[in-house]
Amino acid sequence: MMNSFSQALPDLLAGIRTPRDLLEHCLVRIAERDGTVKAFVTLNIEGARAAADAATARYRAGAPLSMVDGCPVGIKDIMDTSDLPTQMGSPVYSGWQPRYDAACVHALRKGGAVIVGKTVTTAFATGATNQTTNPHDPARTPGGSSSGSAAAVGGGMLPVALGTQTQGSILRPASYCGAVGFKPTHGLLTMQGVHPISLTHDHLGAIGSTLDDTWRIVSHISLAQGAAGQPFLSGAGAVPPAAKRPRRLIRLYTKGWEPEVDPATRAAFEAVIDRLKAAGVEITSRETSQTVADLEAALDGGFTERSVDITAWEMKWPYEQYVRDHGPLLEQRIKDRVAHAAKMMPADYTRLLEEKRAMQARVRGVLEGSDGFITLAASSPAPVGHDQTGSRTFLLYASFLGIPAFSLPLMTVDGLPVGVQLIGAWGTDGDLCAVANWMMSATAKG
């Protein structure tokens, strides 16, 4: 059962409900579910109640601070919080207490949002797994690395939570947990106070119970804080841009379609494509366009490896020091990335960035005249087991290219959610959200 702040807002404004009521509903759901789901690392119930009471007083006075005043929010545990430890999902930071909030957390508090607690992450948001379970089936992974954020929202414990994505860490868990995930254009939301992996890949975003909740929280952070040298989020506001039917979408199969996608997920996605066509949306793909076929071949011709190489190089700080001082506490994949970077030369990194810029320009050209790419947000429902957090194949492209992407909970496969991924051109977040808004209302689950 989803838990939406935006849907409750009319009652808040009318005085029918209060922010304290919303918080207490969240706390009841957390008490009921989190013993199994394990979405939270730490909670600040006393602090959250104080913030909710302050928001309640403002609503009664007819003077809410912002579009997020009174909204309960979860914070991924790689983001600094002045009142709760920030432990990065790693024993290296066990018990570590920052003095100040990350910029995104500061923006939310300043707007009156109610910080409920810290949500579980894989180690440094790049580890293999953690203790969180899927809210739809505890035998399955919730995805990662924003595991706790997605599970808390998908389990009805919060309306929205912050996440980060370097390769697939917002959209994949949103897909597995049946929530809306949004990864804005790279750099539009500040990462100050968020532990880094790769400066050219790391994105701040959100996972919400509805498109409205997700857009609202991201918009507030953008307008309140922004990011140095970057424009604000296009179309930012308290409600998503008005729904707009796309004229043309480009379907991406990617190299994951044949080996990874099971028949039931294929059928569900084909049904979405058929409904889009029936609604008058032109679907272009590698089957109908040589330009798209050539682009897919180029994207699948080693760009996954390029993403890993760039990430490894940019992990030199601070991970070389972690390996030096805390090697036994680190997962092997982190040590492997640091070792890989040690074999690279500056010329290798320069070449990789040039290739990335060339591919970004190529994608921008292919998208001209279209309203975005459409593909899967995950290759299947959440896999059974907790020894890994699922495939990133369908998600690497938008992260590598730095372009905006949504995971929309438009499919059900074997009784479990799977997201549809919508990807846009750089800086077109508002236009992409308008298309997402239309798809959420025009494309029923199947």
* C-beta of residue 31 within 8 angstroms of C-beta of residue 157: no
The residue whose two tokens read 């400066």 is: 199
Question: Do 69 and 111 contact (CB within 8 A), yes or no?
Answer: yes
Q: Which of 4, 66, 76, 380 is catalytic?
A: 76
Tell me how far apart the alpha carbons of residues 167 and 187 are, in angstroms, rounded to a whole number: 15
Q: Is 94 a catalytic residue?
A: no
First-to-last CA distance in the chain? Answer: 18
Q: Which of 145, 234, 379, 391 does the annotation list as catalytic?
A: 145
Q: What span, in angstroms and rounded, lies between the C-alpha atoms of 418 and 381?
A: 5
CA distance linking residue 148 with residue 169, whole number of Å: 11
Report the b/e string of 410-424 with b at 16+ CB within 10 A: bbebeebbbbbbbbb
Question: Side chain identity at 324, as an amino acid letter?
Answer: R
Return the structure tokens found at 354: 């040039």
Pick the catalytic residue: 4, 90, 147, 169? Answer: 169
Residue 117's identity, in one-letter code, is: G
CA 147 – CA 133 distance, rounded (Å): 8
Amino acid 375 reads T
Q: Is 445 annotated in the active site?
A: no
How is 44-90 classified by DSSP, letter by letter?
-HHHHHHHHHHHHHHHHTT---STTTT-EEEEETTB--TTS---TTS
Query: Is 145 designated active site?
Result: yes
- Check if the beta carbon of residue 118 is closer than 8 Å to that of residue 73: no
What are the beta bridge partners of residue 29? Answer: none
Query: Please, are residues 390 and 143 in contact by the beta-carbon 8 Å criterion?
Result: yes
Q: Give the 3-state secondary structure of residue 373.
A: strand
Residue found by looking up tokens 């009652």 in the block: 11
Q: Which residue in this structure is represented by tokens 């190089």?
A: 313
Q: Annotated active-site positions, please? A: 76, 145, 169
